[in-house]
Amino acid sequence: MLKGSIVAIITPFKNGKLDEEAYISLIHYHLKNGTSGIVPAGTTGESPTLTHEEHKKVIELCVKECNGKIPVIAGTGSNSTEEAISLTKFAEQAGANAALVVTPYYNKPTQEGLYQHYKSINDKTNIPIIIYNIPPRSVVDMSIDTMARLFELQNIVGVKDATADLNRVIEQKKKMGEEFIQLSGEDGTALEFNLKGGKGCISVTANVAPKLCAEFQEASLAKNNDNLLSKAKEINNKLMPLHNSLFIESSPSPVKYAASLLKLCLDEVRLPLVTVTESTKEKVKSAMKQADLI
């Protein structure tokens, strides 16, 4: 099952190009520190500015380096249905365990348009598909009824929910049941999300705090265990300043700076993103210290 601390992995760059050496090191960093799954080429991986060749390369490398040890959920979304189909087919052929497909941005499709978009991907591939519902960035919100229709299809298995509406977890569980995998898209509310029926988080913070995020998820997903719940709350409080600091400016610029403090990679991003300001650097650095990461 896809659950626990799943990292939306950053894509390291060096002099404008994919830094394969740093990327491979990052993957092994997660394998060593308890991460439950990896999402390559997601939006945290700067998929909008990756070339198609780079997009495919980061998926291929992730599948190869993980080597079946943990699931790879490849980011394959696009606001072009044909492009999303093509990328999802590639991820399937490369050996990814699942695909993360964002709701089409900018086009503002209707609920029927959303349904047909995902149905087309479902019908032309044979890989588990996670819907990525993120209204703040895609401008459309998939309704629970549309999600339920999609869950009837063979390959649609769950959602990465970044609506910031925790009541949706309960309503989606009522409509689709326990088998529908609900993953949080927000580190800051992941505890409440899990307590209401979620199975984990596709995390930005896990890029720089993989062990803590893994321990937090394990504790928060434990059923009826007060000691573990107390541990989850303690870790959550420790990480909260970091969760907040990583979104002061457009992600993934802050988390790339945080990664650079750990010497995991450079803080280089691609335009139209820019590296973070000095004031943000200080806040990120302070939050990293509070979490005992530096």
Indicate the residue type of 246: L
DSSP conformation class of 179: T
CB 99 within 8 A of CB 129: yes
Give the separation between CA 82 and CA 29, rounded to whole angstroms.
34
Identify which of 224, 185, 182 has the alpha carbon closest to the alpha carbon of residue 43. 185
Active-site residue flag, 160? yes
CB 10 within 8 A of CB 263: no
Catalytic, out of 3, 56, 57, 160: 160
Active-site residue flag, 132? yes
Residue 92 CB-half CA count within 13 A: 15
276-290 b/e (C-beta count within 10 Å ≥ 16 → b) = beeebbebbbebbeb
Q: Which helix (H) or strand (E) covers residue 248, if one does?
A: none
For residue 14, what are the β-bridge partners?
Answer: 17
Q: For 138, list phi and psi in degrees, rounded to 5.
A: -100, -10
CB 46 within 8 A of CB 29: no
Cis peptide before 272 (omega within 30 of 0): yes
Catalytic, out of 23, 115, 118, 132: 132
Please give the positions annotated as active site.
132, 160
